[in-house]
Amino acid sequence: MFNGLPTLMKYPDRSPFLCGPSGFTFDNCLRNKQLKENGLEEPNSFTTGTTVVGIVFDGGVIIGAESRATSGGIVFSKTCRKIIELQANIFAAGAGTARDTKALVELTRAQLELHRMNTGFRKVPVCCANQMIRQLLFRFNGNIDADMIIGGADNTGAHLFCTRSDGSTDTAPFTSIGSGYQVSMSILESRWSEDLSEESACALACDAVAAGMKNDLCSGGKVSLCVVRCDFSVQWPEQLPRQVPPTRTYRLSPKPGRTTILSTLVHPVLSWRGALALPEPGGSQEPGRGPGTSGAARGQEAPRRSNSLDEPEAKRKKRGGR
């Protein structure tokens, strides 16, 4: 049992679709399977294009996300808040299927509240929230399409976790998930440092999300930030993406004469008129005659080439005659 929820250890012979009242229902998966067996098309699942980043700075943690909710080529909302409160000191943001992410957050929030009351209303550790989410995702074998960033502060300091849909977890000082995570991660890797101040961390998170929004069609809107400090104070600064010109970390400025020329090869290039005046291959052009004039046309009989394959046989006959 996991906080009153049945696990797969109780049902070893049953599939994860039939694992009891756990807050999730997979009836639609069985329905889609039956539709495919009957030759019908499976309905499309609604996924959201998201860019979410998390940064640990000197004094807390920051979670940033954009505010566009999409499904394919349709934009449902431009002001969607994707950073959700799990506890007063723990916040999370998810990417993946919207309904799965919402159900996962609601179930985790209820379990954390029960855990807080059972432990004498103390501050819930951030690792506890991450452990609940990863166990639930691992129990369903990746059938819950939700990648989560969990960040917060407790009595041991600020913490940041990145948990994927298969239950694997990373603990890192900065991370990024969603459809625009690659561009955001490049910004974080080039500018993050251990002694970041809160203002620098906010600017870095805003620039990372803005870069993901610029290079991802499913991300857009405005940048929402959630700052959780180690003194358990929370701030929600909303910033518009700044227009940051692209910068090159290592400027390429080779000096003249650095590369030595080892050899030079010149290929003659003829113009089209010069190529037309070239002689035919296999013969020489006599002066005063066109390139297309053959020997038969000039009254000369071309010499007949002997077949090299017949020469050994002729020599053998000659030797036999002698």
Most distant CA pair in the chain: distance in Å? 123
CB 141 within 8 A of CB 135: no
Catalytic: 50? yes
Residue 31 vs residues 13, 40, 270: alpha-carbon distances, Å = 21, 11, 71
SS3 65: strand
Tokens of 314: 């002729």
Question: % helix / strand / coil in the chain, to the nearest 5?
Answer: 30, 20, 50
The torsion angles phi and psi of 84, rounded to 5 degrees, stand at -120, 145
Catalytic residue (choose from 7, 47, 48, 50) = 50
Q: How far apart are the first and last CA of the chain?
A: 108
CA torsion 72-73-78-79 (nearest 10°) is -10
**What Cα–Cα distance (Å) separates residue 236 from each residue in 54, 81, 123, 125, 273?**
14, 11, 21, 21, 74
Q: How many CB atoms lie within 10 A of CB 192?
A: 17
Catalogue the active-site residues.
50
